[in-house]
Copies of this chain bind each other. A is one copy, B any other.
Amino acid sequence: MVTYDSILKNIQKHLVLDQEEIDFFTSLIRWRRVPKKSLLLKEGQLCRHLNYVHSGALRAYCMDKKGKEGTIMFALADWWITDMYCFLNGKRAMMQIEVLEDSVIFQISKENWDRLLSDQPKFEKLFRILMQNAYTREQLRAIERLSLSAEERYESFLAKYPVIASTVTQKQIASYLGITPEFLSVIRRMAGGKRGRSRD
């Protein structure tokens, strides 16, 4: 029913694998169905797994002391997601990972991840590339946060992640952009006004 095609294709964008390596890799992962609204990771838990999203939608977020949510990332099909810092360092999670739509994920445990990297160092390259992509993405986000207005960040988000934008709520987008949902609503009204007027 659920095959490893998606995750293997994702990996084989970066590595050439023989059958033995494929078998070893697949022996280390397990697939899980996770229902909408469930929490894949709760704050304070140990984060034991790295997750690949086969289908569905997840969101990682954290709470500030006033209870306001800050969305750290979204993960749709073909994305990897975990609380990376806690996964790597065996610390308790600072974030929660919430299931936005019924999803199917592949999980690799920290133990198996360590085994994968020590037994098959070839996979170092895969994770080097995934980490460098994640790094450059976060750095670009920091740059946009420093140099763009809330409205420009919203436009940039729509342009970069149109599929996410049409999957998640505005409240969630607002918490990713670092603004309130009320203010995002104002931004959308203003932007709509601009476009509307330009057609006169």
Contact = CB atoms under 8 A, between A and B. Distances in A.
Greatest chain B CB density within 10 A among A72, A88, A143, A148 is at A143
- Copies of this chain assembled into the complex: 2
* Chain A interface, >50% SS class: helix
A143 B84 contact: no
A85 B65 CA distance: 34
A68 interface: yes
Interface in A52-109: 62-65, 68, 70-72, 84-85, 88, 94-95
A88 B121 CA distance: 21
A161 interface: no
Contact of A132 (B64, B84, B141, B178): B84
A24 interface: no
Given A84-B139, A88-B132, 12 more contacts: A62-B146, A63-B147, A84-B132, A85-B139, A121-B121, A121-B124, A121-B125, A124-B124, A131-B135, A135-B135, A145-B145, A145-B178
11 contacts: A64-B147, A70-B147, A84-B135, A124-B124, A124-B125, A127-B128, A135-B135, A138-B142, A142-B142, A145-B145, A146-B178
